[in-house]
Structure 1
């Protein structure tokens, strides 16, 4: 058994927060303990502590210690006409909520996906088309709202990415400019405006 330890920190304009994770690889299963700064702010406590067991690509079981809540996630891939259909089943015991997610990869440029919350009308269908590996078009239909959302993104030279979204239900137009580079750094700028 090998041991890996990692520390992650994040900064928000309003607040800062840190996360520490200790992971153990036991064969093809990973055991992980994660603690946020909430566990240390007012002295050592179980706040912000979660434990997980994961077999990558098959299942993840998360246990939130202070809430005594369990989240189950199971993943599988089946083939339909030689095309991979990726299925994910998520159940949150505390919220008594179950989500089923699926995506069918038709070819490298085309993908169909669906997300459904069991027992509700909350279902979203999305089509993703990648043009020339540089531009992505994503129309999404929300069955519960009977509305469309649209997203268009474009990779720019230098590792930047520009994305525009439009939510028809709220008439919000969003623009996101991001970069994820080891040499020039990473950032994400998002602005929203309401269409008249």
Structure 2
């Protein structure tokens, strides 16, 4: 509860209540939003479930992640009352490469992401979105000693002139 809740008179906009049993479930109630998380076991595999209802925009989202083994994970995201549902499979080949196909039921399209770790801290990632025909290549590094950066090249394959768009981001950590 914030000070503003008490100073301007009673209001429930900042009221939040939570009950948690670590490793088992979390129930959180924030007046404009209700969230429930739980982990259940299916064939001895953990299934992480999240239910979120937001009063402000009147929508309910259900997420599920099934960890099949350390290399394989299946995820689903569904907005209740719509056909907005995404199903994603993730395969991680050690700590070197990741392959992630995703199917969007609302758009009836596939997305694909493939990433590979190179030179220790560097990651090369390629993504393709069939709905927008957007192809992206990304090179990123996250390092405390040398700093972090990301360079992206985007090409919209639906356009007649396929001119790549480049972006670059960097982050420096300074200790004084």
TM range (shorter): 0.7 to 0.9
Corresponding position of 2:111: 149
Query: Which runs of at least 4 in structure 1 moved beyond 3 Å after TM superposition?
Result: 50-57, 59-63
State the Cα deviation string for residues 91-129 of structure 1 (Å, max 9, x = none): 111100100000111001111110000000000111100
Name the Cα RMSD after superposition: 2.3
Instruction: Name the structure 2 match of 1:82.
Output: 44
- Counterpart of 1:119 in 2: which secondary structure? coil
Q: Which residue of 2 aligns with 1:91?
A: 53
Equivalent residue runs for 1:124-139 within 5 Å: 124-139=86-101
Partner in structure 2 of residue 20 of structure 1: none
Q: Return closer, same or farther for 1:61/1:175 CA change in 2, 3 Å cut-off.
A: farther
In 2, the alpha carbon distance for the partners of 1:74 and 1:124 equals 20
- TM, length-normalised to structure 2: 0.73
- Within 2, Cα distance between the matches of 1:88 and 1:96? 17
- In structure 2, the gaps of 5 or more residues are 3-13, 159-176
Equivalences, count: 144
Shift of 1:194: 1.1
**Structure 1 pair 141–60 and aligned structure 2 pair: CA distance change class (3 A):** same
TM-score by length of 1: 0.66
Is residue 119 of structure 1 aligned with residue 81 of structure 2? yes
Q: Distance in 1 between matches of 2:126 and 2:142?
A: 18
Unaligned runs of 5+ in 1: 1-30, 34-49, 64-69
Which is greater in Rg? Answer: 2
1:189 aligned to 2:154?
no
- Residues in 2 aligned to 1:108 and 1:171: alpha-carbon distance in whole angstroms: 32
